[in-house]
Structure 1
Amino acid sequence: MSITAALMLALAVVPAPEVTEYVALGDSYAAGVGSGGNAETGCGRSDFAHPNLWKDSHSPARFAFPACSGATTQHVADRQLGSLSGETELVTLTVGGMDADFTKVMTTCTLGSDGACEKSVERAVQLIRSELPGRFERLFQGIEAAAPKAKVVVLGYPRLFESRSCSGGLSAAKRAAVNDGADALAEVTAAAVAATGGALTFVDVREAFAGHGICGEDPWVHPLTTPLGHSYHPNRDGQLWYLRALESVAKTALRR
């Protein structure tokens, strides 16, 4: 049985929490860029994005999906929170990568030297540690104000690379640097969520993706690919495992 078939069979027996209103916020990882089946090319929202898969499984009465490729925390605050309401019961969010200029970092690491890549990641990590906590705090407060009844689930990002080399992969130094950046982003996101005192839930996907990064035997992340915008994003199996993580935490959170 394939991974996809096994996962969908497992999800079929999970009792569905009753949700009237679900809103999915965030960037390209939330929109499902790289998973195929894009229904809207401008923001990259895919039929196979984990928010759409969750919606298809649970049929909430209202579903809003403003997540958009390229979104920063400020973009979410300015352009996406309008989808929330006092009746929203579930909110999912993946954001922060573009605040750290993920696209520029990966362009530098793909085309530049090891040293240029390491310096680019170092600058991103400095921004993550100095600026992102305050940006998260403001965004989380905005979400809570706009959707006071909602359970808010913040899903993180995976490490992109496995330690072994492969065709189409980056050098060992570049892979290590990029993964260090992912670790810093996960740590800062987890701390910002913890600072809410339990109002939000953080889902760290790094362990689930371990062994399934670029250069893994069963990768859930695209290497440099065509179309270029799909590079370094979860493929369809990756989005299915985001769904699995969401199912697990939402089942608990929505029944509290």
Structure 2
Amino acid sequence: MVATAILAALALLLGTAAFGPAEPASAAVAAGKPVKPPKPGGSTELEYAAVGDSFAAGVGGGSYLDTSCYRSANSYPRQLDADANKRLVSFPACTGASTVETLAQIATISTTAKVVTVTVGGNDVGFSNVMRNCFAFPSDSCQSSIDAGAAIAASQAFRDKVAGVITAIRTRTEPDAKVIVAGYPLLFHLNSSGVNTRYQWADEVNAETVVLNNVIESVAVGTGRPSWTSRMTSPVTASAVAARGSWIGCTSTGTPRSIRRRPGTRHTPTRSARFPCPDAGREQNREMDLSSFGVRATAGTLRAADGVTLDHVWTDEGVVAAPATNGAQVLHLSVALCILNDTYREADRLGIELAGIAVEADGGFTDAWRSTGIEYSVTLDSTASADDLERLRAAVDAVAEIPRAIRAGAPVSRLG
């Protein structure tokens, strides 16, 4: 796991104790944490800063401190903050951050930080494109996405960008500050033949991840004052993105029992999906939060900045859907996207002008992977009257094909 590897690296460097999960807070940095015992000799805690992308922010870990970067209370920076020897003073890590955005993060961290962790580079080489084109929505663009990422990772320009991040941290902090550069985990388990029977591109993505880690490590080691690199290159059955019980790349079984539009205007899911692979076993499911797999689909003036952009007949800019890292989210996105599409269609039929739409869908699963139901909410940006908009929502509820199909239930079987 990402957190485990980095915690181990810091333990070796600083002689720290075992770590437990951090307490929830309402801010990116620790707030209202329990008073911790002082370090031996009465010295104060080491100030700690964490920068980088989603692996540093902890997306997938749940208990989010914000919805702009999806920093998690279960992220490895927050787990490190729980140690008696460290105090998290700066936590600008943000989902989707590249080396350029990480440079901007570094400019905000405390100059007195004695420990700085950074996970960066994945977005520069197109991690999201590979996940989208090879796993979330497999397409003919998969191989080209992998090849493009490999070419970037092998380039001197990429090495320079990673080196620039490390140098910026050193410039920002004092000479005795320790910089820990984290690599990326292998996301997919491979069998004894070196393949993953579920995902065609798993072995190649794992291999390219190893290459990426090698590049990042060599840059970190070669930048002058020592950087410590936490390598996470052991294949795992299902990679933990940021915290215990947080999994990526798996699907569910079972038929949803109900689907309905949630009353009210807008619902913001409080957790992202945490979704174990089927072979993880029901015992493990009981240790995980299966109650919320929130997603959103947005377009027009309500179009979100982050997510997968899909071409759409009703909008020139396309629809942004997110997140889509596992089967539960994809199931819920099918509902959200259908509602969004049918809202545009029915609005056109009824002569109602729409500037923007945001549809959010959420639901959970039992330990047996049976859906507990799906709820969705629709937010509309329109000058139409409240009565007209309610008439539009009712029309969509009546005709939306995917919700109707899920309500009716359908057998699912493999051919051959």
Larger relative CO (CA 8 A, sep 6+): 1 or 2?
1
SS of the residue 2:130 aligns to: helix
Name 1:203's counterpart in structure 2: 230
Q: Distance in 1 between matches of 2:84 and 2:224?
A: 28
Of residues 103, 106, 127, the one that matches 2:131 is: 106
Q: Distance in 1 between matches of 2:238 and 2:88?
A: 34
- Letter of the 2:167 partner, please give it: Q
Alignment of 1:121 with 2:125, yes or no, is no
Of residues 50, 69, 86, the one that matches 2:76 is: 50
Q: Does the C-alpha gap of structure 1 residues 58 and 41 become closer, same or farther in structure 2, counting only changes over 3 Å?
A: farther
SS of the residue 1:83 aligns to: coil
Residue pair 2:106, 2:172 contacting (<8 A) in 1 also: no
Offset, 1:91: 0.3
Offset, 1:187: 0.9
Q: Distance in 2 between matches of 1:93 and 1:55?
A: 15
Q: Distance in 2 between matches of 1:221 and 1:156?
A: 18
- Letter of the 1:229 partner, please give it: P
Alignment of 1:37 with 2:67, yes or no, is no
- List per-residue Cα deviations over 1:162-217 (Å, max 9, x = no partner): 12446xx422xx1112112211210110110110245211110113xx23336xxx
Alignment of 1:27 with 2:53, yes or no, is yes
Q: Which has the higher strand share?
A: 2
Alignment of 1:162 with 2:192, yes or no, is no
Of residues 152, 160, 166, the one that matches 1:140 is: 166
Residue pair 1:25, 1:76 contacting (<8 A) in 2 also: yes
Q: Does the C-alpha gap of structure 1 residues 219 and 211 become closer, same or farther in structure 2, counting only changes over 3 Å?
A: farther
Q: Distance in 2 between matches of 1:79 and 1:89?
A: 16
Alignment of 1:180 with 2:207, yes or no, is yes
- List per-residue Cα deviations over 1:199-239 (Å, max 9, x = no partner): 211110113xx23336xxx986411564553728xxxxxxx
Residue pair 2:50, 2:116 contacting (<8 A) in 1 also: yes
SS of the residue 1:109 aligns to: helix
Q: Does the C-alpha gap of structure 1 residues 61 and 126 become closer, same or farther in structure 2, counting only changes over 3 Å?
A: closer
Residue-pair matches, total: 213
SS of the residue 1:154 aligns to: strand
SS of the residue 1:121 aligns to: helix
Q: Distance in 2 between matches of 1:91 and 1:79?
A: 12
Larger radius of gyration: 2
Of residues 71, 80, 95, the one that matches 2:120 is: 95
- Letter of the 1:157 partner, please give it: Y
Name 2:100's counterpart in structure 1: 74
Q: Distance in 1 between matches of 2:161 and 2:208?
A: 18
The unaligned stretches of length 5 or more in structure 2 are 9-16, 21-37, 251-272, 274-292, 295-321, 327-416
Residue pair 1:212, 1:220 contacting (<8 A) in 2 also: no
Residue pair 1:152, 1:200 contacting (<8 A) in 2 also: yes
Q: Does the C-alpha gap of structure 1 residues 190 and 68 become closer, same or farther in structure 2, counting only changes over 3 Å?
A: same
Q: Distance in 2 between matches of 1:62 and 1:112?
A: 39
Offset, 1:16: 6.9
Q: Does the C-alpha gap of structure 1 residues 219 and 65 become closer, same or farther in structure 2, counting only changes over 3 Å?
A: closer
Name 1:252's counterpart in structure 2: none
Residue pair 2:19, 2:79 contacting (<8 A) in 1 also: no
- Letter of the 1:11 partner, please give it: A
Q: Distance in 1 between matches of 2:142 and 2:39?
A: 44
Q: Which has the higher helix share?
A: 1
Q: Distance in 1 between matches of 2:58 and 2:206?
A: 21
Q: Does the C-alpha gap of structure 1 residues 64 and 154 become closer, same or farther in structure 2, counting only changes over 3 Å?
A: same
Offset, 1:121: 0.6
- Letter of the 1:170 partner, please give it: Y
TM-score by length of structure 1 reads 0.74
Of residues 11, 18, 24, the one that matches 1:11 is: 18
- Letter of the 1:103 partner, please give it: S
Residue pair 2:51, 2:119 contacting (<8 A) in 1 also: yes
Q: Percent identity?
A: 28
SS of the residue 2:83 aligns to: helix
Q: Distance in 2 between matches of 1:192 and 1:12?
A: 29
Q: Distance in 1 between matches of 2:323 and 2:236?
A: 23
Q: Distance in 2 between matches of 1:116 and 1:93?
A: 30
RMSD: 2.9
The unaligned stretches of length 5 or more in structure 1 are 233-256
Q: Distance in 2 between matches of 1:90 and 1:84?
A: 10
- Letter of the 2:138 partner, please give it: G
